Structure 1
Amino acid sequence: MLNFDEQRYLRIQSGAVALAGRFDEVIGRCLEAGADSVFFLGTGGAAILMQPAYQLLQRRSRFPAFIDLTAELVITGSANLTRNSIVVMPSLSGTTKESVALLAKIKEIGATVLTLVGHAETPLGQGGDHVFVNFAEDDTSCESFYLQSLFVALSIMKHRGEIANYDQLIGEIQALPAGLLAVKRAYEGQAEAFARVLAGSDYHIVTGAGNVWPEAFYYGMCILEEMQWIRTRPVHASDFFHGTLELVEKGVSVILFKGEDACRPLADRIESFAPSYTDKLTVLDTAAFDLPGMSSELRALLSPVLLAAVLERISAHLEVMRDHPLTTRRYYKKVAY
C-alpha cells in the first residue's frame, strides 16, 4: 500500500482497543461516585470525532450527554457542567490551546476529566484525572479517537443497564484492528480513482447522515481544506434539501458518505436525487467493505471508523497526485495548535 506502515497501524489501533477495559473501570467508578452527566469537549477535528459517541448517548441513553465548543465554553461556561460531570477531552498533541485553557476552568469546577492523548508528557497528558495515552499521528488518529469515545458511551450504557450485549460488542471489537487493515488492503485498488475525483475539482459538497456525518464534516474541513487547500461545503444530509441542493448542477462535485445506521435512508435520498442534476456524484459506502465476524449492530456503530480507514488510503494517493504533502500548512504554526 502506498506510503503505509501496516505494523504501525496495527499497533495504534490495537492500542486503542486495549483501552476498553480501563475505560469501563473508570466510568464505573465515576458513576458509582455520583456522576450525573458527561461532556465531550475537544477542539477542532478531535471534537468532531466525539460526535458519534455523543449522538449514541443522546438517542439510546437517558444519561445527560453534552457536546460544546471549547473556545466558546472557556468564555461562557455552562450551567450543566458541575463537579458531578465527567469530561472527556481528546487532543492528539496534548497541547491544544483552547483545550488547555478549558482544562484549567474545569479543574476549578471540580469535574472529573478523562484526557485522551497521544503523548503523556503534555499539559493534557499531565492534567487529566484519568489519562488515556495511545500514540497516533494524523493519519491514524481518527479510528483511535472514534473507538475510545465509543468505549465511553457503551460503558455508560452498560453500567446503567441500558445495553444488554456490551460484552459481545467489546468481544467483537478485539478483531477490529486486523479487520480494518484487511479493509484498507482490499480498497487500495480503488483509492486512486477516488483521489482523482477529489483532485479534479477545487470545490466539493461533502455530505452524510447519522454517525457518518461527523466523518464527512471532518474530512472536508480537516483533510481537504486544512491539508490539501481544497474548498469544501460539508452539509448534513438532513439539511441538503433545505438550501444546498440549489448549488447542484452539471460539473459540481457531490461526495456522499453512506453508513449502516438507521439514518442511511437520508443518504439514499441524495444518491437518488443528485445524478439527475450533476455528473459528479461520488459515493463511499461502508456496506461495501467486508468485515468478517462483525454483527450488523457493531458495523452500524463502526461506520465512521470504517470510513476513516478507507479515507486515509484515498488521502495517501491524493497528496501524491497533487504533489501536496498532508503535512504542508500555511498558517498552522501561527495558531500554535
Structure 2
Amino acid sequence: MKQDQGTLIEEVAGATETQSVKGVEMKQEHAAQIAAVVDAVNAKKIDNVYFVACGGSMASLSFGEYFLSKEIEIPSFVYTSNEFIHRNPKSLGENSLVVLRSHSGTTPETVEAASFAKAKGAVTVAISMEAESPLAQAAEHVVHYNYKDGSDAIDGEAGMFYTLIFELLNALSPNEKYKRVVNQLPNLGNLIEKNIEQFSEAANEFGKKYKRDKIIYTMASGAYIHHAYSFTSCLLMEMLWIHSNAIHSGEFFHGPFEITDYDVPFLVVKGEGASRPLDERALDFVQKFSDKVEVVDIAELNYDGIDEDLKEYFGPALTGFVLRLYADGLAEHTGHPLSVRRYMWKMEY
C-alpha cells in the first residue's frame, strides 16, 4: 500500500523542533528510523501485525494493538515474548510485521523472539533505549529513545511510539485523522506536564490514605486495561510489593466482585470511549460496598490543543504519567522507594 513519502514523517520532524540542538537531532533521527519502517511496510503486503514484549513493555505495546484492531481490518496480536516463540503462531511469516520492545534492549526472551520472527521472514522492528542493544541487533529495524542525557526523558518515548503507531496506521489504511494525530503529538510534552500538575495533589493524598494497605485492586477497560496491568504488575507488585490484580471492568461481575467489602481498596480508571459504561457499572457497585474507592477519570484530563475527535488517542498516552504519580504517592508515604527489588537483577532466574 504505497504512499508519497514526503508526508507525515517530514511534517512531524519539522513540528517537533526545539531550542536544543541535541533534541532536534534526536527527533530527526527518530523520523528517519520511523520512515524506514514505513518504507518496509509499504514494500510488502502486510497480512498481520504482532506486538511482542514482556511486562511493562508488553503493556505499552498493547496500545498499538488496541488502535490497530479498532481502526483497520488487518488482524493484530499481543504476545509475551516467550510464549510467542513456544506457541509459534501459524500465520507468522514473510507478510507479518512484528514490533518488539525492551527498555534496556537486553530482555533475553524478547531478543530471542526478534531472531525467531526475523528467521520466519517477518518485518521486525525493535523499540529500545539503546540503538546498539542486543534487541536492536536482532531486529531488522530499530526505533530508539534515550534517557541518558535527558533530551527526551519526558515525552520522547511516548511521542516516538505514538508517531510510529499512527504512521503505521496511515501506511496500512490511509486516513487524514492519523495525519492530524501526528501533527498534534508535539503537544504531548506540555500536556504531560499540565496533567502531572493537575493530579499531583490527589495522587499524594492517595498515597497518604492507602500507605498501610497490603492489597489494592485496579480496575479498567478498553485501552486503559493495559495501564491497569502495568500499574499493578510493574508498580504495585514489582516496585512497592503491594498485592494487586488488574480487573477488567467487563469481567468484574463474573467472579471478582465477590471480594468487594467495606475495607477493600479499589483504584478505578474511568475511561473515555466506547467502554466507559463498563467502568461506570463496576464503579457504581464498588462505591456501594467499599469505603476505599479512588477514581482516575480520563474525561478530566487536560487536552489543551487537541482536536475533540482525537482525544481518545491521546488519553492513553497521558494516563501512564498520571498513574505513576499514584505510585509515587505510595512510595513517599510508605517510605518504600520504587527502585528497591528483592530478586530482579540480583540473581539468575
Output the TM-score relative to the length of structure 2. Answer: 0.85
Runs of 5+ consecutive residues of structure 1 not aligned to the other structure: 1-10
Pairing 1:285–2:297 present: yes
Q: 1:66 aligns with which of 49, 64, 77?
A: 77
In the alignment, the residues of structure 1 paired with residue 53 and residue 347 of structure 2 have an alpha-carbon distance, to the nearest angstrom, of 17
RMSD: 2.7
For residues 216-237 of structure 1, the C-alpha deviation after alignment (integer angstroms, 9 at most, x for no partner) is 1110111000000000021111
Relative distance call for 1:15 and 1:224 in structure 2 (3 A) is: farther
In the alignment, the residues of structure 1 paired with residue 84 and residue 162 of structure 2 have an alpha-carbon distance, to the nearest angstrom, of 23
Runs of 5+ consecutive residues of structure 2 not aligned to the other structure: 1-21
Partner of 2:194: 182
Kindly indicate whether the alpha-carbon contact (under 8 Å) linking 1:49 and 1:214 is maintained by their aligned counterparts in 2.
Answer: yes
In the alignment, the residues of structure 2 paired with residue 217 and residue 244 of structure 1 have an alpha-carbon distance, to the nearest angstrom, of 15
For residues 134-187 of structure 1, the C-alpha deviation after alignment (integer angstroms, 9 at most, x for no partner) is 0249xx989766554443442233224353322211111111111211211222
In the alignment, the residues of structure 1 paired with residue 161 and residue 144 of structure 2 have an alpha-carbon distance, to the nearest angstrom, of 13
Residue 84 of structure 1 and its aligned partner are, at CA, apart by 1.9
Partner of 2:181: 169
Q: 1:93 aligns with which of 74, 88, 104?
A: 104
Kindly indicate whether the alpha-carbon contact (under 8 Å) linking 1:20 and 1:170 is maintained by their aligned counterparts in 2.
Answer: no
Partner of 2:50: 39
In the alignment, the residues of structure 2 paired with residue 141 and residue 204 of structure 1 have an alpha-carbon distance, to the nearest angstrom, of 29
In the alignment, the residues of structure 1 paired with residue 66 and residue 273 of structure 2 have an alpha-carbon distance, to the nearest angstrom, of 12
Question: Which residue identity does 2:55 align to in structure 1?
Answer: G
For residues 285-333 of structure 1, the C-alpha deviation after alignment (integer angstroms, 9 at most, x for no partner) is 1222222111233221122222211122222232121111111000102
Relative distance call for 1:60 and 1:37 in structure 2 (3 A) is: same
Partner of 2:232: 220
In the alignment, the residues of structure 2 paired with residue 35 and residue 318 of structure 1 have an alpha-carbon distance, to the nearest angstrom, of 44
Pairing 1:230–2:242 present: yes
In the alignment, the residues of structure 2 paired with residue 198 and residue 21 of structure 1 have an alpha-carbon distance, to the nearest angstrom, of 46
Pairing 1:295–2:314 present: no
How many residue pairs align between the two structures? 325
For residues 86-132 of structure 1, the C-alpha deviation after alignment (integer angstroms, 9 at most, x for no partner) is 11011000000111121222232121111000112320122221111
In the alignment, the residues of structure 1 paired with residue 194 and residue 158 of structure 2 have an alpha-carbon distance, to the nearest angstrom, of 19
Residue 238 of structure 1 and its aligned partner are, at CA, apart by 0.8
Relative distance call for 1:321 and 1:225 in structure 2 (3 A) is: same
Partner of 2:92: 81
In the alignment, the residues of structure 2 paired with residue 74 and residue 136 of structure 1 have an alpha-carbon distance, to the nearest angstrom, of 30
Question: Which residue identity does 2:338 align to in structure 1?
Answer: L
Partner of 2:116: 105
In the alignment, the residues of structure 2 paired with residue 89 and residue 128 of structure 1 have an alpha-carbon distance, to the nearest angstrom, of 8
In the alignment, the residues of structure 1 paired with residue 28 and residue 58 of structure 2 have an alpha-carbon distance, to the nearest angstrom, of 20
Between the two proteins, what is the percent identity of the paired residues? Answer: 25
Residue 336 of structure 1 and its aligned partner are, at CA, apart by 5.8
Q: 1:305 aligns with which of 293, 305, 317?
A: 317
Output the TM-score relative to the length of structure 1. Answer: 0.88
Question: Which residue identity does 1:188 align to in structure 2?
Answer: S
Kindly indicate whether the alpha-carbon contact (under 8 Å) linking 1:89 and 1:116 is maintained by their aligned counterparts in 2.
Answer: yes
Bigger relative contact order, structure 1 or 2 (CA pairs below 8 A, ≥6 apart): 1
Kindly indicate whether the alpha-carbon contact (under 8 Å) linking 1:259 and 1:304 is maintained by their aligned counterparts in 2.
Answer: no
Structure 1 stretch displaced more, 140-149 or 51-60:
140-149
Partner of 1:192: 204
